[in-house]
């Protein structure tokens, strides 16, 4: 009878360990993770173009370290480049980032095709990859944000 009780205690402990490991994975990978949304914006000359915005729902500010669009058929612009990042860059001594997004705020990036591109319809998909880090732990790597969309869907988003 004692052996059965000991096996029950080990089983309960192992289930607790699995639940704890699952929560740890959730906490590190999902919690406080920024969100990337596709939207539209008005560009130069009043023409509508697609955009993506990064929302920071987390508890700490985040640093956007890189933006990569593949294939290289689109260029992007930071609309809010004058939001006071220079002061924060000086304060934290960070020179290797694009922008800082405070807690509860968002940053919008305008996307448009290069001028010498014949047509977006020649491509099947476009991937936008955004590198980021939390400001309180700037040396830790975070899984990048990814969005894959077809050029046709991008043009439809711009029309809305």
Q: Is 11 exposed, middle or buried (0-12, 13-18, 19+ CB in 10 A)?
A: exposed
Taking residues 22-33, report their average pLDDT: 80
SS3 24: helix
86: left (phi over 0), alpha (psi -120 to 50) or beta: alpha
Each residue's pLDDT tens digit, 78-115: 766 555 454 444 444 555 567 888 899 988 888 877 77
The residue with greater pLDDT, 16 or 154, is: 16
The pTM score is 0.71
pLDDT over 60 (residue 46): yes
């Amino acid at each position: 009878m004692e052996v059965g009780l000991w096996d029950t205690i080990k089983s309960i402990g192992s289930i607790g360990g699995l639940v704890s490991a699952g929560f740890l994975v959730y906490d590190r990978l999902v919690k406080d993770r920024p969100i990337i949304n596709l939207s539209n914006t008005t560009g130069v000359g009043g023409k509508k173009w697609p955009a993506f915005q990064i929302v920071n729902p987390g508890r700490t500010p985040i640093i956007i370290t890189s933006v990569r669009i593949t294939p290289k058929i689109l260029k992007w612009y930071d609309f809010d480049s004058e939001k006071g990042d220079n002061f924060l860059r000086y304060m934290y001594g960070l020179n290797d980032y694009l922008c800082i997004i405070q807690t509860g705020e968002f940053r919008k990036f305008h996307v448009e095709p290069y001028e010498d591109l014949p047509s977006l319809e020649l491509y099947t998909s476009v991937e936008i990859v955004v590198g980021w880090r939390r400001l309180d732990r700037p040396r830790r790597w975070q899984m990048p944000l990814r969005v894959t969309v077809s050029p046709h869907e991008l043009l439809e988003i711009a029309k809305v």
